[in-house]
Amino acid sequence: MSQDTKLLDTASAVMISEEAQGCWDEVQTAGSIVITAHRSPDGDAVGSVLGLHHHLKSQGILSTVILPDRFPEFLDWMPGAQSVVIYDEETETAQQKLNEADIIWCLDFNGLDRVGKMEEALRTAGGKKWVIDHHQQPDAFADRLFSDPACGSTCELVSDLIIGWGQADKLTTEAMMCLYVGIMTDTGSFRFPSVTAHTHEVLAMFLNNGLKHAPIHQNTFEQQSLNRVQLQGFAVSERLYIWNEVGLAVIGLKYDDLDRFNYQSGDTEGLVNKALALKGIRVAIMAREAEPGLIKLSLRSIGEFSVRDIAAAEFDGGGHMNAAGGISKGMSMESFLAHIESRLGAWFEADTSK
């Protein structure tokens, strides 16, 4: 087992800044702690807030987890998911907790405009805002900022912080399960370029600590409803639009389509990757008409083509170079697709990555 020991040693040797080290002293004496993440929380957002929450709890430190809106159904199984306070649903409770908090951990987002309707409450809350994030160009709202845009997930950064605190061996199964989910989902199951040897060292440390990974994959990806599977099949078969000359594929699901398959939050998760997986396609957009006149977008790319730039400039969004989100207002799906076609020249003209 000497190999295992070596991996554990490497992961244990994460060096963190003095400031990050100091967080540990401060959380121990804080009266009230809130942990939150961005709106439309994904696996990394939910995983990082719950992972940190479970770890602090195991060390006798209580915290309240608040998310701006509900997380997708496929994350329901995560330990602690049921105790999350959803701002949109329990606004008063959430506001009170935010107001009382001495420390507000802000995980997996880089600006106050990423928390939807919770923005004002978070902005005016008096507690210290400690940000752990991996998105580019964080806004200046953090009292403490731990940002690493090169890192594949916020869950890896939270893991590093805990390892840096010297508490790797104190990680509970619950905490590791949640952190694993975020590393897994934000790296496309450990296959994106952002994955490093260190990512695998952290995962190896989890496994050495007794984490069972197979049920996590199964719970996250293999508990799909028939409606979801059929919606995804329908989307690929009937609502996929391809511009081969530029390598773009768009899936455009209308409001009525979603209704037909009794759409639940999270049902189109991962669908954009089916479009991106096509031969010759290097930019994919998943467009979902959430309500008439409001289209939610998920953008992905391969290589140097930045979907973040398009999302930020044209769709009131942001994200990473190869994975971004945004919205389009006031257009039907037909006019949205026509709009995309009208923008191809501008998007791909200057593109030299092809």
Taking the alpha carbons at both ends of the chain, their separation in whole angstroms is: 46
Of 246 and 297, the one with the shorter C-beta distance to Mn ion is 297
Segment interacting with Mn ion (CB under 5 A) among 41-49, 170-178, 233-241, 300-308? 41-49
CB of 187 to Mn ion, least distance (A): 10
Span interacting with Mn ion, options 44-52, 91-99, 197-205, 224-232, rule CB under 5 A: 44-52
Cα–Cα dist 245/282, whole Å: 11
| Shortest Å distance, C-beta 82 to Mn ion | 22
Is there binding between residue 108 and Mn ion (CB under 5 A)?
yes
Work out how close the CB of 348 gets to Mn ion at its nearest, in angstroms, rounded to a whole number.
27
Q: What is the rounded CA–CA span in Å between residue 227 and residue 222? A: 14
Minimum CB separation from Mn ion for residue 318, in Å? 12
Which tokens in the block code for residue 305? 């083509």
| Choices 15-23, 36-44, 172-180, 281-289 (CB under 5 A): range interacting with Mn ion | 36-44
* Given 156, 186, 201, 269, the residue binding Mn ion (CB under 5 A): 186
Interaction pattern, residues 123-162, with Mn ion; x per rule: CB under 5 A = -------------------------------x--------
Find, among 281, 198, 270, 284, the residue nearest to 231 by Cα. Answer: 270
Q: How far is the CB of 44 from Mn ion (least distance, A)?
A: 3
Could you say whether residue 44 binds Mn ion (CB under 5 A)? yes
CB of residue 179 vs Mn ion: minimum separation in angstroms? Answer: 12
Task: State the residues that interact with Mn ion by CB under 5 A.
Answer: 44, 108, 154, 186
